[in-house]
Structure 1
Amino acid sequence: MRKHISSLSNPLIKHLLLLQKKSRLRKTSGEFVIEGIQELTYAMEARYSLKQVLVCPDIFEEDISLDALDCEVLEISKAVFEKITYRSSTGGVIAVADSKELTLEKLKFETKSPLILVAEAPEKPGNIGALLRTSDAARLDAVIIANPKTDLYNPNIIRSSVGTLFTNSIATGTTSEIIDYLKKHNIQIFAAALQDSSSYLEEAFTGPAAFVVGTEHEGLSEHWRSEAYKIINIPMEGKVDSLNVSVSAAILIFEAKRQRLNS
């Protein structure tokens, strides 16, 4: 018989709530929260280590075999579950897991011509989630976050990415570290910027390539522009001169995919 929790004063529930809110606690404890059956399934497939899985029997949809989980499984009341989850469509499951070190050295490529997305200093969880969804859809070889301003295990990123935080190969680093890494692996840097740039439609992306995108407000730092193999832009025909970063990335990524399919 599983232990049942019905009080918000339970130490584990208090810890879980703090993990959701406090980036510093996520970093010091090495733990984070996963909400939802799909997200939990992706995390398990990516071999994330689970600490606890909390199940609400009144809501739980049996898409996961609880007996097969190599961690503590607890039951919680519906009242507690509704207090600690952000969405109603979670399938009655929430979990605490160990985070991973998202270092450049851990990246592994299964192809000689990897296609990579680099995002410099993204801050909004919604934008990061959209970038991860696009990268998953295109099956990119890696997503690298330069100078991250937001903890990637932020619950809002996991939610907005619909779990693709776990399906992508992800690393973080400083701009200098990432440029050195890309050059060491002979990966051409295509920096998306307006200054001194050419149309992305004029370039070939069939070799090892990394698209580098910045924020809408600040764009890319000079370091990326000076170290790029090519600076590219997406021609605009209206009055605005920029797109949402996830939209820009998607246009570039799927042009590269099109070229690779036809090469």
Structure 2
Amino acid sequence: MRYIEITSRSNPHIREAVTVKGKRPHKYDAFLIEGPHLLQMAFQARIVIQKIFFTEEYLSTKEGTQLLRQISRTGAELFRINRHILSRLSDTETPQGIVAMASCRPLSLDELRLRDPALLIVIDGVQDPGNLGTIIRTSDAAGVDALILLPGTCDVFMPKVLRATAGSIFNVPLVYSETGELMRWLQEKSIKALVTDVKASQNLYEADLTQPLAFVFGHEATGVTEKLKRQADVLVKIPLFGEAESLNVAISAAICMYEAVRQRTAKKNQALVQSDRTSRKD
């Protein structure tokens, strides 16, 4: 395993990484991954890892040596740095000894592979990194087909979002889309756009979530844009039984996703039982 030692903060590779950390020219051309867990998940998901910066302390661990050897076979450049340089690249108070520069090409809408029935999550202006990361992590757990990001949403590859996803960011297909383009595509695919609204007359648990659906979640304060809300096929509300006036957007997303999963699982099980009964009669 070959690597280059860097001792200067003004090294071109370090300056490039610092620039990527601060502001990327394009959202997915390059981003930083910090920590062995996220890096391992990115590697397993075949994310393109361009450069890895690590300390001698991390290299001296068994897990560190193993991970670096695995990733080095992909052609990534390896650089050993000291803790002072690492602090320039790290976004945490206690750096874990390794930071990588990676890139990820989002898919287009037409490249998505949809299950039957489709289940999509659309993000319309969510601003808090923790909320966005939690929605992505829940989307992964619920088996969502893809996450579609509309203009005005916070950077999905910023460090705080990546950490909040716990690595799920690398498991869920991502699409950047304009609102008009998305709504036309949903109509072509016969996928219903569903928006939660506290003023909606229909209850979430009364809605049919077994059909192809795209849940839309919006800005923490203002919600989904009025234009998109008017174009939605279904408006539902999550019932509130206490004194709370609303729910956090990430919580709302989790409730909606898992209600869809529950309904779809129940329908599938019911179909299996009916099929079994029919076969027994035959």
Is TM more than 0.5 here? yes
Instruction: Report the Cα offset of residue 174 of structure 1.
Output: 1.7
2:185 to 181, 186, 198: 181
Q: Any gaps of 5 or more consecutive residues in structure 1?
A: none
CA contact (8 A) 1:216 1:242 kept: no
Separation in 1 of the partners of 2:43 and 2:110?
A: 22
Q: Which residue number in structure 2 is paired with residue 229 of structure 1?
A: 233
Q: Any gaps of 5 or more consecutive residues in structure 2?
A: 268-282
Q: Which residue number in structure 1 is paired with residue 67 of structure 2?
A: 64
> 2:190 is paired with a residue of what secondary structure?
coil
CA contact (8 A) 2:123 2:150 kept: yes
Instruction: Report the Cα offset of residue 76 of structure 1.
Output: 1.2
Amino-acid identity (%) = 30
> 1:118 is paired with a residue of what secondary structure?
strand
Counterpart residue type for residue 11 of structure 2? N
Instruction: Please give the TM-score of this superposition, normalised by the length of structure 1.
Output: 0.90
| CA pair 90-78 structure 1, distance change in 2 beyond 3 A | closer
| CA pair 149-253 structure 1, distance change in 2 beyond 3 A | closer
Answer yes or no: is 1:201 the counterpart of 2:200: no
**Which has the higher Rg, Structure 1 or Structure 2?**
2
- Greater alpha carbon shift after TM alignment, 235-244 vs 245-254: 235-244
1:244 to 235, 243, 248: 248
1:74 to 72, 79, 86: 79
Separation in 1 of the partners of 2:95 and 2:121?
A: 29
Q: Where does 1:88-167 land on structure 2 (aligned, <5 Å)?
A: 91-109=96-114, 111-167=115-171
Measured on the aligned residues, the alpha-carbon RMSD in Å equals 2.0
| CA pair 65-92 structure 1, distance change in 2 beyond 3 A | same
1:213 to 217, 220, 232: 217
CA contact (8 A) 2:9 2:15 kept: yes
- Greater alpha carbon shift after TM alignment, 81-90 vs 236-245: 81-90
Answer yes or no: is 1:18 the counterpart of 2:24: no
> 1:144 is paired with a residue of what secondary structure?
strand
> 1:64 is paired with a residue of what secondary structure?
helix
Counterpart residue type for residue 163 of structure 1? G
